Amino acid sequence: MAGVRRPEAGPAGVATTTLETVRCLVMGVLNVTPDSFSDGGRYLDPDAAVAHGLRLAGEGADVVDVGGESTRPGAEPVGAEVERERVVPVVAALAPHVRVSIDTRKAVVAEAAIEAGATLVNDVSASLWPVAAAAGVGWVAMHMQGTPPTMQEHPRYDDVVGEVRAFLAERAAEARAAGVDEVWIDPGIGFGKTAAHNLALLRALPALVAVGEPVLVGTSRKGILGALTGGAPVEDRLEASVATAVWAMTRGAAMVRVHDVAATLQAARLVGDDVDLEEAS
């Protein structure tokens, strides 16, 4: 699995990353929101959010992704001040213990989270590379057609793989030119795409890997998994989430974004080379 990144001990024991090959990284989802599709409201209280973030870190998450605005289909935007108040205390509490990314579309929120200790901007708008460049942090460019309130109404592409690949390659090049040293690309499964579009992108992950930047994939608990499993509810999509994460790993993904860290990390270790299967036998 060439090109994936291995966590190493950094300052104060917080994980950093290098290009050494070991296994796909696991990013744990932490939604500090009242309306996210999977766990909205469960971690809106800052103490509950910090406790869950530490639990994800304890399960082995390489990164904990903190978000204060839902981007599920149909979600309405929230104000920058509200979003900032939700995420900054949580980022500050978690940053000494685990690498933290900030999941936001707003520059002011990203800047505040970076000041609080975040070292990666997970950007569904693929527009915040100037913030990452100025702060010297990593940046994830995700593809999204439209915006969350309407993105699933009529998604259309002539060539979904070619269009997503070209968009991400262009944004990555712009970020590199601006001075961002750590760039990730994410095809945006479920963001302005039909089930057929999502499956085409998953099948074509090697074409995205060929762009030359590490690829992040997020399928965890998403609607496509409900459709593929005959209508399984959100809380009953663990097996499908792990299966699609493994699919992404075997096709070159360098990181997967998940709700269920322990199960996914176990799979990542088996797919990668953290486990010596001959010794285990």
Task: Decide if 140 contacts 216 (C-beta within 8 A).
Answer: yes
- From start to end of 85-182, where are the E strands? 99-103, 120-123, 138-142
Question: Exactly one of 222, 237, 251, 269 is catalytic; which is it?
Answer: 222
Count of Cβ atoms closer than 10 Å to residue 95 Cβ: 21
Strand partners, 25: 255
- Please, what's the largest Cα pairwise distance for the chain? 55
181-132-38 Cα angle (round to 5): 110
Backbone φ and ψ of 138, nearest 5°? -80, 165
222 labelled catalytic: yes
Helices and strands, counts by H and E, the chain: 11, 10
Q: Which amino acid is at 210?
A: A
Active-site entry in 23, 165, 237, 257: 257
Write the DSSP assignment of 206-258 as a string of letters.
HHHHTTSS-BEE--TT-HHHHHHTTS--GGG-HHHHHHHHHHHHHTT-SEEEE
257 is catalytic: yes
Number of C-beta neighbours around residue 134 at 10 A: 14
Half-sphere exposure of residue 176, counting CA atoms within 13 Å on the CB side?
12
Residues tagged active-site: 222, 257
